[in-house]
Amino acid sequence: MNGTPAPPARTARPAPDLWEELVTTALLGTERRTPPVSAPGREAPAALLDAAAEATVRRRAGLRPASVPAARRPEPAPEDPRPALPAAAARRLATLLADRPGAGVGRRGTAPDLMELLPQWLATANAHGYAAPAHLLPALLDAARGRTDLRPAALRFAGPRGLWLARLNPDWRFALRATPGGGSGLPASGDAEGAARLWREGLFAERVALLSALRARDPRAARELLASTWATERAEDRLMFLDSLRAGLGPDDEPFLELALADRSRNVRATAAELLSALPGSALAARMAVRAGSCVAVDHTFGTPTLVVEAPHECDAAMERDGVVAKAPAGRGERSWWLGQLVEAAPLGAWPGRLGGRTPDQIVALPVADDWQSELHAAWCRAAVRQRDAAWARALLGPPSAPEAGGPGAVSLAERAKLLATLEDGERAEWVAGFIAAHGLSEAFQLLGVCAVPWAAPLGRAVVDALNIARDAGSYPWSFSGVMGLAERCLDPAEAGRLDALLAVPDEPEDASPGAGGYWAEAFQRLVTTLRLRAVMTEELAARPPGETTQASAQGSPPAPPCGSPAGQA
């Protein structure tokens, strides 16, 4: 800087880069760069320092220099017609939102993890149909901003006022993206002209939201809207739009999906084929049944009926059109790759007729020649999941007490979890309980994640008994921290009384890990405390003035989500 006089005054630059310009001028010197703001009679260095001081005050005060006329005052927040939270439940929500996970690691102590209880609290509040307290909306949106698993339940609970508030703070823009119509209002039901205009002129996110909302209430109208511009859409947009047809997928969608099989994008063709294969009565499913059936047969020359497999020798154009990917992944044989895709897409109901009228259990029990069993059964597993076929899922899972707890086609724990998801809640819980009883908890975490909350009594008992056995063995409880955390969120609170006997520090065997007994007592104390807190939370949310009914009591509460889903992780 030097003592040269400041140049004539000029209008201050209002851009948000003012601070950067001041810093740049200070670094270069006012002799080489004129300060972005100045005043008559002031030397350039002094003017620069004055401007920097003023900008510093503004930055610390959280203000920006006014450069445009003041914005119009926002419209008042919309009314939320849902009933207000009971007072005790509102206080509980404030406590849950104020809790933050500790920065340290190590012993957790006996206090419940309140942040892990928030998803369950939100799910229960939504089931009752309550409105979020206005003064807690900022904290609720902040919590949802930091945890994506909270967002669906948190935004539903926040309601129209939450969206109104999110439009005023850039930090909460996720709420507008995550909520259909959050960025702008969707046309009302029956407003075909408004829907068509938004579809033609809207931004991509608005069009996706429109298609999803329309598909939920009128699948045919959504499909026709998509078909009206299908040929002119970009490939990546066609893929996203096509995925929206999963909701309400039915036979009426088949003609449109058949046309999509000829799409120039391989990903679009593959998605269309996947959707068609989920319709067992579709023409594509019939074509796949013929192809897959020609590859698998029963051979009686082995003494025992045996499945023999003759995998395809080529992937022709017709197979590719129906969604079969010709190029196999690295390390995978082409013929087995093609076979797996054909069997996965073929309707499972066609196999009994092809294989001598046998049931799924009898088919899965047949030996398979030439080491094709794992490939064939894995493809049947994927088909059972895609087609939601419980009979085939049972056959492929096998009994939970089977060696290694793997049915013939269950090649991984993740695949078993997917098969279990096709079963009813009670049957699913019973199978996982049998798995734990036979094989312990070391491999049960993924399976527990698909069980409905709260856990059924047999499953809860199996988990607690397995934890008790692990404690008696003298191992440390953090070896089972994942299962213990699930138990805190998913075990029926009514089980708390049965756990009191586990709170004492057990006698440690000679070969036990030092101090493990104390850690186990602490872990069980935290489990009991958490279960009792969950029971209190449920009572607080159920309390309401006499004669008042909630939305859920009038319409019926939705079933509890599985423990592994976002809302069910509490």
Question: pLDDT per residue over 360-418, tens digit each?
Answer: 999 999 999 999 999 999 999 999 999 999 999 999 999 998 765 455 555 678 889 99
Question: CA–CA separation, 120 vs 126, rounded Å?
Answer: 10
Residue 285: how many other CB atoms lie within 10 Å: 21
Does 15 have pLDDT greater than 60? no
- Asked if 31 contacts 39 with a C-beta cutoff of 8 angstroms, the reply is no
- Picking from 119-133, 180-194, 277-291, which range would have the lowest pLDDT averaged per residue? 180-194
- Asked if 484 contacts 523 with a C-beta cutoff of 8 angstroms, the reply is yes
Mean predicted confidence (pLDDT) in 180-206: 73
Please report, in angstroms and rounded to a whole number, the separation of the first and last CA atoms in the chain: 61
Residue 343: how many other CB atoms lie within 10 Å: 27
- Picking from 50-54, 94-98, 164-168, which range would have the lowest pLDDT averaged per residue? 50-54
Among candidate residues 175, 152, 150, 154, the one with its CA nearest the CA of residue 164 = 175
Residue 146 vs residue 476, higher pLDDT: 146
* pLDDT above 70: percentage of residues in the chain: 82
List pLDDT tens digits, range 36-83: 876 666 788 888 888 888 888 877 776 555 566 666 788 888 899 999
pLDDT at 541: 96
Mean predicted confidence (pLDDT) in 468-491: 83
Output helix, strand, coil percentages for the chain, rounded to the nearest 5.
Answer: 60, 5, 40
Question: CA–CA separation, 285 vs 112, rounded Å?
Answer: 51
What is the pTM assigned to this prediction? 0.72
In this prediction, residue 34 has a pLDDT band, given cuts at 50, 70 and 90, of confident
pLDDT at 493: 92
- Asked if 378 contacts 416 with a C-beta cutoff of 8 angstroms, the reply is no
- pLDDT mean across residues, the chain: 84
pLDDT at 282: 94
pLDDT at 19: 80
- Asked if 33 contacts 1 with a C-beta cutoff of 8 angstroms, the reply is no
In this prediction, residue 481 has a pLDDT band, given cuts at 50, 70 and 90, of confident
pLDDT at 130: 96
DSSP classification of residue 451: S
- Asked if 512 contacts 528 with a C-beta cutoff of 8 angstroms, the reply is no
Does 236 have pLDDT greater than 80? yes
pLDDT at 324: 93
Task: Compute CA distances 45 → 3, 21, 286, whole Å.
Answer: 7, 14, 83
SS3 299: strand
Question: CA–CA separation, 486 vs 2, rounded Å?
Answer: 68
In this prediction, residue 510 has a pLDDT band, given cuts at 50, 70 and 90, of low
